[in-house]
Structure 1
Amino acid sequence: MSLIIAYVGKKGCVMASDKRRIAYFGEKDKREELEDELYSGLITNDDDLKKRASELDITLKISDDATKIRYIENVIVGEVSSRSTTETRRKRIYGTSNGYQIIEMLGSDITNSEKGENAIILFGNKISKSIANDLISKKWKDNVSLKYMGDIFEAVLSEVSTKTPSLGKKSDVMIVHPEFNKDEAQTHLDETIKRDVQLLGKWRDKLKEDLIEQNETIQLATKIIDEGKVGVVSEVDGSILQVTLNEDVQAYDTNWKQLAKPQERVIMISDKENIEVGDEIVIENEVLCSKRTKTGLKCDIILCNL
């Protein structure tokens, strides 16, 4: 978690965030120890972070291209998240003119929410929020433009990044200023959040389906026949053969869609017209052929055991 700063008021919404993302690889206890030191302010720069990670035998992956804020029509959305092997926790702020809502999520389920009309809101770890709070208090001026607020937030992010490596030096700033009154703002936010969370749910469902499909593909791939009996020739029409699969063999296309079950027929092509009905079809030395004549066969299917 790094830092997102948001202003919400009558004039509109300004939101800014850094773009750093840090992934930790190593023993859980050591990862947590490193994170505690980082987020409490004991580690103050990138070199010290890398050195301490090495001491704890933790591998780091640091990137400065993460997108933490985005537009949805007349709303800006900021999100921080933390991931474990089993779940993802998200905290989001949705801001527009005269209104904001903050939601906390486990997966794609909302576990907590709050709303308001105007505020300066900070998402981040303890050290980054503490430094940012002090800087905003010193730099803030009343009745300034949204653009000036954005400049202030950008300057704050830059300065915080010099004091903790939990932030990178790159940042994003976004501004919206639709003409909403307080009631219109909350109605619009309700509708936006509903659509956004539904999209997240659909994305998670699709990801789950893809993972299941990939797992099934991997399992099928381990059953591809590279040696053994396949079936028996049931019909011959020149070079075109119809082969009845054995009771423990099935056929798939290249997208792993099942084309034939055991005891059903598939089409194969012979280079020579010397194959007869009743000939056994086998794979020998990873070559599909007639067991009797050794004539090679072609097919555009994948043959697997059950």
Structure 2
Amino acid sequence: MTLVMAYIGRQGAVMAGDMREIAFQGDDPCIEALERELYSGSIASDNDLLERAGEIGVAIRVRDDKVKVTEQDGVIVGEVTETAGSTIRQKRLYVTAGSYVIAEIIDSRLRVTQRGQAGNFVVLGNDITKQVAGQCIREAWKGGTVPEAMRVILLTMQMASGVTASVSRTFMLVHTDRAMNLAGAINRASGGE
């Protein structure tokens, strides 16, 4: 799990997502130990990640081209993936001007876990990326417009990529001014319509 961050305002919404995907191969206990270290922030650079993976016998493949944020008919969708053994769990964030929904997908079943309204930042990520986002929001957000929220999100993405190898330096940023029906987007995603 890496970093997807959004701001939902009354007049628009913006979301950014890094582009890193890390695949692990090796013994499950070693992979779990490496993931704990990575997601807690104790592995800051790509070199540190490669070195630590080699030390404990885990093969890794890192790519920085995974698209985690898209726009579909005025709705911005961000997605992060967690693996625990053979279980793959996805969290998906749907945003539009004025509202958002968080859903979980486990074994191809989509379940809405949270709904919210304008005036919120939402962060999907691991422990260290959530800490960085919280710090950036506390220190840089003084309230205001979507462009001001965009600056906080950009700052968060840059800071997070500097403190954890779980986040790529490249990211996508998507913005919408439209207020769309999130129920329709979720219904399409879960196989309806």
How does the TM-score come out when normalised to structure 1?
Answer: 0.59
CA contact (8 A) 2:28 2:85 kept: no
Other structure's SS at 1:162 match? helix
**Alpha-carbon distance between aligned partners in 2 of 1:191 and 1:58, rounded to the nearest angstrom:** 42
Q: 1:106 — aligned with what?
A: 106
Aligned pair in 2 of structure 1 residues 27, 124: CA closer, same or farther (>3 Å)?
same
Q: Aligned AA for 1:58? A: V
**Alpha-carbon distance between aligned partners in 1 of 2:54 and 2:6, rounded to the nearest angstrom:** 35
Superposition pairs of residues 27-42 of structure 1, within 5 angstroms: 27-42=27-42
Number of aligned positions between the proteins:
191
Give me the CA root mean square deviation.
1.6
Q: 1:174 — aligned with what?
A: 174
Offset, 1:151:
3.1
Identify unmatched segments of 5+ residues in structure 2: none
CA contact (8 A) 1:3 1:17 kept: yes
Aligned pair in 2 of structure 1 residues 86, 38: CA closer, same or farther (>3 Å)?
closer
Offset, 1:84:
5.8
CA contact (8 A) 1:92 1:103 kept: yes
Superposition pairs of residues 1-306 of structure 1, within 5 angstroms: 1-83=1-83, 86-118=86-118, 119-144=120-145, 146-178=146-178, 180=179, 185=180, 188-198=181-191
Offset, 1:131:
1.4
Offset, 1:112:
4.2
Q: Identity of counterpart residues, as a percentage?
A: 32
Offset, 1:23:
0.7
**Alpha-carbon distance between aligned partners in 2 of 1:54 and 1:87, rounded to the nearest angstrom:** 25
Q: Aligned AA for 2:10? A: K
**Alpha-carbon distance between aligned partners in 2 of 1:71 and 1:171, rounded to the nearest angstrom:** 15
Q: Aligned AA for 1:110? A: L
Offset, 1:108:
2.0
Write out per-residue CA displacement over residues 152-190 of structure 1, whole angstroms, 9 at most, x where no aligned residue: 312221111111111110011000111x4xxxx5xx110
Other structure's SS at 1:94 match? strand
CA contact (8 A) 1:154 1:171 kept: no
How does the TM-score come out when normalised to structure 2?
Answer: 0.92
Offset, 1:74:
1.0
Identify unmatched segments of 5+ residues in structure 1: 200-306
